[in-house]
Amino acid sequence: MARRIFLAMLLLLPALLIARLAAAQPVLNVYNWTDYIDPYVVQRFQQQTGIRVRYDVYDSLETLEGKLSAGRSGYDIIVPTSEPTFSRLVKAGALRPLDLARIPNWKNLDPRLMQRVAQVDPGNRHGAIYLWGTVGLGIRLDRVRAIWPEAPMDGLDLLLKPENAARLAKCGLAVMDSATDVLPSVLKWLGKDPDTTEAADYRAAEQALLAVRPHLRAIPGSGGLLDMLATGEICVALTYSGDVIQAAARAREAGKGVEIGYVAPRTGAHLWFDMLAVPADAPNPEAAMAFIDFLLQPETMAAITSQVRYPNAVPASRPLVAQAVRDDPNVYPSEEALARAFVPATLPQSAERLRTRLWSRFRAGR
């Protein structure tokens, strides 16, 4: 009997040892956008550091903010867009200042791009640029040309002029479900200040959106819109540049003749930056700093950009990016296009409320 008990204990020892080692292994909790990293990068980080990664995803800033507003999110790394989420978190003291002594690869960041986010994060104390891009139109070129050979495919007129939207409605139109990313472009298209606080300007933007609302097939989140473009379910969408470029790549791989292109507004595109940030109550901030440092290596950022087709802020990575991606002007805009682009400013709460109410009415179609 004693021998059987002894043997049973010997058999249990490996399982107990594995459980104890797993419990002792540090864990990094990441909350990032859908389809926004090269999975091999996460795997390499785990192999090189021994830190296990728990990776969750979201598809809108509203989802991210809702998770954080509840408190004690449990995340060590989040990836908020510079405006408005990152700037709000900085002001609220909800982010931990980065420990640059633990991030030696910080030196690899493009100072010109970092300066553009310093207006909402003085001294760049709370975030490093992860990826960036513009807001514009994803167009199924083959379908739009078939319906309307002379379609004006060089700006937002294609979608936001009601007569154009009516003409193309049968092939599927969509606007991403994000007031913070859509309204600045609509205001700019109307010739108004994208950072306006005037109620009259927001009424004009609302009227413009409601005028095309009957012709929209969907107002999906970023991930759903990407799939709809890739499959050809929609032919024109207002969304993020990288989503369109990813959809185009998926469509080519499917080989079903779906041809997708991206158009940035010729009058100046909404330029945004997604930031690597650490919540103030992060359970493992040391692992978070190690992850940021790992990501800022040129070869790491090159792998991510090659995979997701969004540009990064590490100039030394560009020669390492897949040639088809690094030479695509929709991924890396020209200096002229960057000069025309605008970065939205932080809005007061009164304007935020106007924007939120407007968007609710637009989604409801009234």
Is residue 351 pLDDT above 80, yes or no? yes
Average pLDDT over residues 309-338: 94
Element at 233 (helix H, strand E): none
Average model confidence (pLDDT) for the chain?
A: 91
Is residue 320 pLDDT above 50, yes or no? yes
Element at 55 (helix H, strand E): strand 52-58
Domains within the chain, CATH numbers bracketed: 23-127+277-296 (3.40.190.10), 133-271+344-364 (3.40.190.10)
Is residue 4 pLDDT above 90, yes or no? no
| DSSP labels, 126-162 | S-EEEEEEEEEEEEEHHHHHHH-TT--TTSTHHHHSH
Q: Say what the pLDDT of residue 3 is.
A: 55
Cα–Cα distance for residue pair 32/30, rounded to 1 Å: 6
Cα–Cα distance for residue pair 219/174, rounded to 1 Å: 6
Distances (CA, A) of 256 to 169, 250, 251: 22, 10, 7
pLDDT digits (tens, 9 = 90+) for 326-340: 999 989 999 998 889
Show Cβ contacts of residue 228 under 8 Å, excluding neighbours closer than 6 positions: 172, 174, 218, 220, 234, 237
pLDDT digits (tens, 9 = 90+) for 67-123: 887 777 899 999 999 988 999 899 989 999 999 999 999 999 999 999 999 988 999
Q: CA angle, 224 as apex, 204 and 172 as ends, to 5°?
A: 60
Is residue 43 pLDDT above 70, yes or no? yes
Q: Say what the pLDDT of residue 186 is.
A: 97
Q: Say what the pLDDT of residue 204 is.
A: 98
Q: How confident is the model at residue 173 (pLDDT cuts 50, 70, 90)?
A: very high
Contact status, residue 74 vs residue 279, Cβ threshold 8 Å: no
Contact status, residue 345 vs residue 119, Cβ threshold 8 Å: yes
Cα–Cα distance for residue pair 305/307, rounded to 1 Å: 5
Q: How confident is the model at residue 22 (pLDDT cuts 50, 70, 90)?
A: very low
Contact status, residue 197 vs residue 346, Cβ threshold 8 Å: no
Contact status, residue 120 vs residue 343, Cβ threshold 8 Å: no
Is residue 150 pLDDT above 80, yes or no? yes
Average pLDDT over residues 45-56: 97
Give the residue ranges of DSSP H helices in the chain.
2-24, 39-49, 61-69, 87-91, 111-117, 141-147, 157-160, 162-168, 179-189, 199-212, 222-231, 241-254, 285-295, 298-308, 323-326, 335-340, 349-364
- Write down how long the chain is: 366
